[in-house]
Amino acid sequence: MKRLVKFVPTSILATLLAGCLTRAYIGTGAPGVPSPDKSYRLTIRAYSALWPHQYPDKTKKPVYIGIWSGNWSSETNLFWKGYRFVGADLTWHVEWASSEYVSVYLFDYGEGFSATDARKSGTPSNHIAMLTYVLNKQTGKFVERR
């Protein structure tokens, strides 16, 4: 009985803590956004703030950008960096100017507006950041251009 008395509160506490430390994320998925010649791909992962916040809430969101070469089974990481941006339903547009130059535009439509609904209704977006990456031909890696 003593074991049960210790087990039940411990189980409840573990369940509550696990629920409080969860977060949702959206992203490009493993395929990412390919470069024009398909030799590179850029991936994005954006996370919500910790529970009880949902992704569309205006909060500080961790965003991770990666640039990869090769297929999924033998990929090589050419860039990886984490950022933090404040936004509501944070979304993005990736634009490859060439296979050596790519820009990521991060934006939202304001607190209380979902990206899907805002696009349909023509609501203007709020610019949050523009990130640009260039291939360093000496190292073969991408670097952030400021």
Single-letter amino acid code for the residue at 24? A
What are the residue boundaries of the structural domains of the chain, listed by start? 23-145
Which pLDDT value is given to residue 111? 87
Residues 89/110, Cβ–Cβ less than 8 Å? no
Distance (Å, whole) CA 42 – CA 78: 10
- Residue 23 banded pLDDT, cuts 50, 70, 90: confident
- Joined together, the tokens standing for residue 55 give 């992704």
Q: Is 69 exposed, middle or buried (0-12, 13-18, 19+ CB in 10 A)?
A: middle
- Residue 16 banded pLDDT, cuts 50, 70, 90: very low
